[in-house]
Amino acid sequence: MKKAILIILIILIVIILLIFFKPENNSIDYNKSLKNELSKIDCYDKRNLNRYINYLDSNPDLYLEDVVIRVNLNLDKKFYTSTTKSSFLNKNYILVNKYIYLPEDYVPDNLVNAKLEYSRDGMMLVEEALLSFEKMYYAAKKDGYKIRIMSSYRSYQYQVNLYNNYVKKDGVDAADTYSARPGFSEHQTGLCVDIDDGIINYQSFEKSRSYIWMKNNSYKYGFIERYPKGKENVTGYSYESWHYRYVGEKIATYIHDNNITFDEYFILYIKK
């Protein structure tokens, strides 16, 4: 009887050890298999392998492609660390975010003034973006909707003053959720606009009829909703229904049709 009990106890101990302590060879096989699966992803970078594995451990519900994209975006690191200067200056597909910055003296080529018909006074955009916005404005107007530029190009120094005011008001942590630090603002590219409908405050733009029109049509004119709802963990910013970025019709259409952010598109198709 005692012998039988002893055997049962030994079996239970072995089972517990197998459950809680993976043999080293199993761990090696798992990492090898994971590496093989990761390497099949187009934007896989073998230099980031350990970072992919660590990020997956912290975010086990993500698809492997999402893990690779986010690590390649440096989202496994704190904001404003491991920063690099923007590539593709004066290109529609330039990316600026909390890891990629613009030089202090950067001023985009071909800045032109927006007409007061669809803009506040003093607003400027890169010419190609402005011409596309103008087409979009008239198309919206024809359909019975109004869109107006509330903010567009901002210089580095303008962003210094704006960001510092937000920090004084709400503190650094809160300000970083909705305002870019100087040099890290998309507005310095001259390719984005904050808009309203001339009636509702721009921060409540999603409640306007014009927002629905923009949601369904802006990509046709090369504009995307840059910081969409549900993508805060990718963009690094709070949802902004009023912030639109010009990337050109081809890229905008792909982003719209596939429900991804420009950050994700950049990693998949531009930064190779």
A 10 A CB-CB count for 227 gives: 24
Radius of gyration over every alpha carbon of the chain, rounded to an integer in angstroms: 24
Whole-Å CA distances, 184 to 76, 150, 179 = 18, 20, 9
**Cα gap 211→206, rounded to integer Å:** 5
| Residue 26, pLDDT score | 57
Could you list the pLDDT tens digit for every one of the 272 residues in the chain? 655 565 666 666 656 655 555 555 555 677 788 999 999 999 999 999 999 999 999 999 999 999 999 999 999 999 999 999 998 999 999 999 999 999 999 999 999 999 999 999 999 999 999 999 999 999 999 999 999 999 999 999 999 999 999 999 999 999 999 999 999 999 999 999 999 999 999 999 999 999 999 999 999 999 999 999 999 999 999 999 999 999 999 999 999 999 999 999 999 999 86
**Candidate CATH numbers 3.30.1380.10, 3.40.640.10, 3.90.550.50, 1.20.210.10; the one for domain 84-270:** 3.30.1380.10
pTM value is 0.88
Angle at the Cα of 69 from the Cα atoms of 66 and 71, rounded to 5 degrees: 105
How far out from the chain centre does Cα 49 lie? 22
The pair of three-digit structure tokens given for residue 160, joined into one six-digit string: 């210094």
Sorted by where each begins, the domain ranges of the chain are 2-72, 84-270
The pair of three-digit structure tokens given for residue 148, joined into one six-digit string: 């107006």
- 85 forms beta bridges with 101
Amino acid present at 197: D
| Residue 83, pLDDT score | 97
CA quadruple 15, 17, 22, 26: dihedral sign? negative
